């Protein structure tokens, strides 16, 4: 992803204004709807030892864990995703975990930053949902104003020595024609989970009650609609939860890192 | 589609040998499995008056009626699809229709050819099925050795003054993951029906009994499989059946025109 010094994409300009407001604690809420058109990223921060293994886990599981960027140890800038990004301050709310327990939800990481921390920016379905909405497709949890429903499945991930766990999926109910179109559209976005991993009968992937998601909120499935399931960025978090590492940091749900990258740039073609 | 005079694609060489055997009545049977990798085409031949309108019908309904080539009146060569093609002799079995009644199934059209006949070469699902098989997907009617099941639906076509009718679809039962992959694969082949038009509940497109197709043979749908429906090249034939034109010619089912074009060349990307 190249930055052009003479021309700034309007999406990037707006993303920078949003980050500045977040950095200065003017905005401290969820980021949905901020900087439309800009890629928003999930954040996972781990000490180097486990980070090396988490990188391998992501390489082996690109659908739930599509990596947009990975820093070196201690680095808190990510110039490829935005020249002025500071990962210690540019997320509205963080979650700090010790041995798997949530210990704090600060607005900055200045007090807990360490030189061995590696940050992973992971693609988020906001990007492909924007493309679905642009097509006129009803993205149900958005039209119902709730969080996307997410489920633990019996689809295994490809584990590493310490990291393993089931894939988590998000679900969007769609009419058949919209499902077909959504498969085409999301296939173009491999770095934000890509094509669905399942559609139709939820029990075939180990979901026993579609109306009781494991994360997020239930949504209405109308007559004639098919539940369509995408690999979900909650998967790595669920895996980390199981490992309960000594120290880790994530974004708080819905409080994402806004990058300068236009969603359209993620399209593979 | 370009022809290179110095290099002949091996698929084209084999297609030409097959056409020669067909032209000389050495081969008079179905063409499935002949000249693997070569595009096989549905043939529809109409007098110029109705042909003009049929061309418009195809333009308006590209999914069931994807045109590979259209001749001028009286022309029986189609150099874009194969230098030596003679449409009067190169299909193993034709069907000649008068006022909608089947009157003959000759091996050549030399006795009935007219100077006002326009020929339409229409894409055939053989091309995308080859791509599905190459992916390791079980194409059920092939593995069961029967004809693909086809159904009249309540999906309307975009009619013209004299031509109208419901879309006919073909059905392939697939596991969800294979259905998703098949949507990706067939999306690359718009000139052979492209992506499916429906998946899941057959009743939503007016199919009352999936085990009783209107054309072709029923196939087994296994537990956990989803019926996936593609627009079908039988649609124009069904529309013509309804019009009962004074004179028309088609290929006999399964007895296709083998062209020099590699299936891979039909991929849009």
- Digit-by-digit pLDDT tens for chain B (269 residues) are 555 556 889 999 999 999 999 999 999 999 988 999 999 999 999 999 999 999 999 999 999 999 999 999 999 999 999 999 999 999 999 999 999 899 999 999 999 999 999 999 999 999 999 999 999 999 999 999 998 999 999 999 999 999 998 999 999 999 999 999 999 999 999 999 999 999 999 999 999 999 999 999 999 999 999 999 999 999 988 888 888 999 999 999 889 999 999 999 999 88
Q: Which of A153, A169, A199 to mutate to test the interface with B (most CBs of B within 10 A)?
A: A199
Check whether A4 has a pLDDT greater than 70: no
A176 three-class SS: helix
In this structure, how many other beta carbons lie within 10 angstroms of the beta carbon of residue B165? 21
Q: Give the closest residue to A78 by CA, choosing from A131, A140, A3.
A: A3
pLDDT in tens, B49-70: 999 999 999 999 999 999 999 9
B187 at A interface, C-beta within 8 A? yes
Label residue A19 left, alpha or beta by phi (over 0 means left) and psi (-120 to 50 means alpha).
alpha
- pTM confidence score: 0.90
Chain B residues lying within 8 Å of A230, measured CB to CB: none
What contacts B26, CB < 8 A, 6 or more positions away?
none
Chain A residues lying within 8 Å of B180, measured CB to CB: 183, 195-199
pLDDT in tens, B228-248: 999 999 998 888 888 899 999
pLDDT in tens, B3-32: 555 688 999 999 999 999 999 999 999 998
Chain B residues lying within 8 Å of A180, measured CB to CB: 183, 195-199
Check whether A1 has a pLDDT greater than 70: no
Label residue A74 left, alpha or beta by phi (over 0 means left) and psi (-120 to 50 means alpha).
left
> A192-218 b/e with 16+ CB inside 10 Å = b?
bbbbbbbbbbbebbebeebeebebbeb
Q: Look up the ipTM and state it.
A: 0.86
Between the alpha carbon of residue B170 and those of residues A22, A43, B96, B216, the distances in Å are: 54, 45, 24, 9
Q: Give the closest residue to B112 by CA, choosing from B22, B205, B246.
A: B246
Cα separation, B55 vs B48, in Å, equals: 10
Q: What is the pLDDT of residue A32?
A: 87
Give chain A's domains with CATH numbers: 10-125+237-266 (3.40.1640.10), 127-235 (3.30.2040.10)
B221 at A interface, C-beta within 8 A? no
A199 at B interface, C-beta within 8 A? yes
Q: What is the pLDDT of residue A241?
A: 83
Q: Answer whether B193's CB lies under 8 Å from B219's CB.
A: no
A11 at B interface, C-beta within 8 A? no
Residue B104 tokens read as 């003959």
Q: Answer whether B16's CB lies under 8 Å from B260's CB.
A: yes
B195 at A interface, C-beta within 8 A? yes
A268 at B interface, C-beta within 8 A? no
B118 three-class SS: strand
Cα separation, A147 vs A80, in Å, equals: 29
Cα separation, A252 vs A267, in Å, equals: 27
Q: Answer whether B196's CB lies under 8 Å from B204's CB.
A: no
Q: What is the pLDDT of residue B8?
A: 85
């Amino acid at each position: 992803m190249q930055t052009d010094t003479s021309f700034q994409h309007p999406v990037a300009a707006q993303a920078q204004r949003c980050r500045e407001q977040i950095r200065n604690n003017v905005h401290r809420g969820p980021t949905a709807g901020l900087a439309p058109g800009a890629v928003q990223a999930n954040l996972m921060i781990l000490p180097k030892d486990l980070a090396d293994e988490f990188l391998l886990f992501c390489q082996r599981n690109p659908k739930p864990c599509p990596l947009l960027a990975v820093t070196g140890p201690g680095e808190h800038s990510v110039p490829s995703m935005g020249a002025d990004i500071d990962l210690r301050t540019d997320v509205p709310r963080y979650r700090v975990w010790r041995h798997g327990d949530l210990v704090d939800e600060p607005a900055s990481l200045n007090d807990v930053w360490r030189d061995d921390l590696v940050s992973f920016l992971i693609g988020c379905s906001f990007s492909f949902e924007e493309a679905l909405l642009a097509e006129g497709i009803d993205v149900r949890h958005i039209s119902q104003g709730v969080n996307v429903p997410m489920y633990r499945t019996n689809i295994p991930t490809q584990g590493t020595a310490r990291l393993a766990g089931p894939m988590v999926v998000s679900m969007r109910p769609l009419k058949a024609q919209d499902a077909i179109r959504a498969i085409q559209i999301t296939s173009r976005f491999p770095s934000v989970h890509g094509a669905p991993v399942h559609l139709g009968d939820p029990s075939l992937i180990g979901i026993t009650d579609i109306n009781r998601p494991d994360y997020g909120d239930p949504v209405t499935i109308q007559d004639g609609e098919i539940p369509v399931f995408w690999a979900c960025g909650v998967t790595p978090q669920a895996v980390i939860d199981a490992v309960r590492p000594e120290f880790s940091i994530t974004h708080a749900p819905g409080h994402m890192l806004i990058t300068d990258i236009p969603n359209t740039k993620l399209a593979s073609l």
